[in-house]
Structures are given as C-alpha cells and as structure tokens.
C-alpha cells in the first residue's frame, strides 16, 4: 500500500506552456497508473484558477505531470508550497535552475561536470549574432535557455543560417544559447531519489533527438542498456547523479548527455519533470529494471513532500 493511499491525489497536467500536448499525455498516463494502484485521483488541467480548483477538490497531495513554463520552472511548486500541499518532484529552486539552461550550465561547470563550450546571448541580440562571435564557429547548436522537449533547437551547419536560427530561439523564454556541435552518442540517464537507475541510448531517425523524434512513436530507436563501453556507462551514470544532487533535485529526473567517442559525458540538461508517456525514457529505463509503470508512478507519489 502506498503512502498516500486513501488520500485525494491531484495529477496536475496540461498547463499553458509550449509542451502542453505532451503534458496532457503524461498526466493521463500517470493518472491511469495511479488509479490502477488504488489511488483516488483527480486530473486537473492547470490554468490561472489552479489554487481555487485545488481547494474545491480538497486535494491532499499533488502529482506534478507538467512540462515547460509555469509547471517545470518552480512556479507551480511555489504555489503548492504556499498552499501547504505536498507535491512530487523537485522544489522551487531546483526546478527553476533546471529549467534555465544558462543557470544550470554554470552550476554544472562549478560541479566539475563536462559542459560543451557555449555562448549565451540576450534574446534582443539574436539578429546580430554572427559566426565570428563564436570561438568554435559552425557547425553549432542553437537553443532557447528556458524551454524543454527540444523546442526551438536547431543544428546550424551553414553560417548564413545562424541569424535565422537565433531569431527562432529568441521567440521562446530565456537567453539564446549557442553551443559547439559535438558528435557522439545521445544517452539519457534516469535518476530516482538521488540514485542513477540506468542509461538508455537514443538513435533518432532525424538528425537529432528533436520534438518530433521524442513524441512520435516509431521515429526513434532506443537501446537499453546503452551500446557504449561499460566504463563509459559508469562515467555517465556518475555524472547524472552529481547533476541531480548538485541542483538539489527530488524524486525522479532525467539527465541528458552526449557521450563522445572517448567516453566524455557532455551534460546537456537536467529534466526535473521528465516525460512519462508511452515513448518516454524514464519508464523505458524503469521497465528494463523490472519496475512496472504503475509501480514507478506510485514510487514517485510516495516521495511527495513540501520542500521549502
């Protein structure tokens, strides 16, 4: 029996971010899983009336299944703290730092992790960014600092396309980040309660693991365990644990890497609320360890708490 059995559980999903559709799928899957474990679950589509809705439903605990702005960035977590409703996942500070790539990259460097060389530009400078401003030139990767699910991410191989890519990234929240392009194996690590569970390799049909590859079934191949040397797996798992704990994360996170041929685990980001859909990676890793999806969801729910 789970810690919250007999209590009213709100699965918070949807929201207003660019990742709304993914969150709707994550929330629905998690709600079904928790109901299968015997929990009393209300699905709550998050909007500006969230506080009133939670009071009306007399919610005891919140399972946060949001992605992106206003859900993964500490905003909802702060509201739940103020309402004294325990919730799953990371607290306000870790959520905010994990969501902002400019901040998280600085922390990763301070933790001694391998960070790809990059430059961060304010969005108002997007139209002025030239290859000459980049010590590493092109090819490069352009991304917005404050979005997830690879929203706004582009690989730029031609210097003439750099401004266009930067303008696109500037449409979203946060700085425009331009990284040196590093060729390697895309590896994601699931971390639960501070412990790395496993490393999964991603082989997208597209040029990189973009939004379509993440959420369209059949467009990407996954290999668990990752097809890299055991020594490289050990390095990437250790780095994931350092990143999760270093940001102060709670519950489950997914840490994304590019692993170079020599085994260097270049960290890309920590997802403090990773996707939990049929094509999502944390459930795939958990299943590889024999942890069924309903059991995983209940394990996450059991960790719900106030963090402030």
Q: Catalytic pick from 17, 149, 250, 280?
A: 149
Answer yes or no: 209 catalytic. Answer: no
CA distances from 7 to 61, 175, 199, 206 (A): 8, 41, 34, 44
Among 115, 119, 144, 139, CA closest to 129: 119
Q: Catalytic pick from 72, 73, 100, 256?
A: 256
Q: Name the β-bridge partners of 12.
A: 44, 64
Answer yes or no: 206 catalytic. Answer: no
Between strands 154-156 and 195-204, the pairing is: unpaired
CA distances from 209 to 78, 214, 216, 250 (A): 31, 6, 11, 25
Q: Catalytic pick from 98, 175, 275, 280?
A: 275
Answer yes or no: 124 catalytic. Answer: no
Q: d(Cα 129, Cα 150) in Å, to the nearest integer?
A: 21
Q: What phi and psi values does residue 282 have, to the nearest 5 degrees?
A: -60, -45
- C-alpha 257 chain-centroid distance: 12
Answer yes or no: 19 catalytic. Answer: yes
Answer yes or no: 74 catalytic. Answer: no
Q: d(Cα 178, Cα 164) in Å, to the nearest integer?
A: 13
Answer yes or no: 21 catalytic. Answer: no
Q: Catalytic pick from 23, 69, 215, 235?
A: 215
Q: Catalytic pick from 27, 269, 280, 298?
A: 269
Q: d(Cα 273, Cα 73) in Å, to the nearest integer?
A: 9
Among 296, 274, 286, CA closest to 64: 274
Between strands 176-180 and 140-144, the pairing is: antiparallel
Tokens of 228: 């890299």
Q: What phi and psi values does residue 298 have, to the nearest 5 degrees?
A: -70, -35
Q: Catalytic pick from 13, 15, 19, 172?
A: 19
DSSP letters, 202-242, are EEESSSS--HHHHHSTTSEEEESS-SS-HHHHHHHHHHHHH
Q: Catalytic pick from 17, 188, 253, 271?
A: 271
Answer yes or no: 256 catalytic. Answer: yes
Answer yes or no: 230 catalytic. Answer: no
Tokens of 46: 């998050």
Q: Catalytic pick from 25, 69, 235, 254?
A: 254
| Active site positions, annotated | 19, 149, 215, 254, 256, 269, 271, 275
């Amino acid at each position: 029996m789970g810690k919250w059995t007999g209590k009213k559980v709100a699965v918070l999903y949807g929201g207003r971010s660019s990742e709304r559709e993914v969150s709707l799928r994550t929330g629905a899957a998690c709600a079904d899983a928790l109901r299968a474990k015997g929990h009393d679950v209300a699905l709550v589509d998050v909007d500006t009336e969230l506080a009133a809705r939670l009071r009306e439903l007399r919610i005891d605990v919140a399972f946060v299944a949001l992605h992106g702005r206003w859900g993964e960035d500490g905003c909802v977590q702060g509201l739940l703290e103020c309402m004294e409703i325990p919730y799953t996942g990371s607290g306000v500070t870790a959520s905010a730092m994990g969501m902002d790539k400019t901040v998280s990259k600085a922390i990763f460097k301070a933790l001694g992790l391998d960070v790809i060389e990059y430059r961060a530009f304010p969005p108002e400078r997007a139209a002025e960014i030239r290859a000459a401003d980049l010590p590493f030139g092109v090819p490069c990767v352009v991304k917005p600092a404050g979005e997830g699910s690879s929203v706004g991410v582009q690989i730029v191989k031609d210097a003439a396309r750099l401004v266009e890519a930067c303008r696109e990234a500037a449409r979203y929240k946060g700085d425009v980040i331009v990284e040196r392009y590093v060729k390697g194996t895309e590896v994601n690590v699931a971390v639960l309660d501070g412990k790395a569970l496993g490393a999964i390799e991603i082989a997208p049909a597209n040029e990189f693991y973009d939004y379509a590859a993440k959420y369209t079934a059949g467009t990407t191949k996954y290999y668990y365990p990752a097809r890299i040397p055991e020594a490289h797996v050990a390095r990437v798992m250790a780095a994931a644990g350092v990143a999760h704990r270093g940001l102060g994360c709670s519950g489950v996170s997914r840490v994304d890497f590019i692993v170079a041929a020599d085994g260097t685990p270049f960290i890309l980001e920590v997802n403090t609320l990773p996707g939990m859909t049929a094509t999502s990676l944390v459930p795939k890793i958990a299943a590889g360890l024999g942890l069924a999806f309903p059991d995983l969801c209940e394990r996450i729910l059991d960790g719900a708490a106030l963090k402030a």
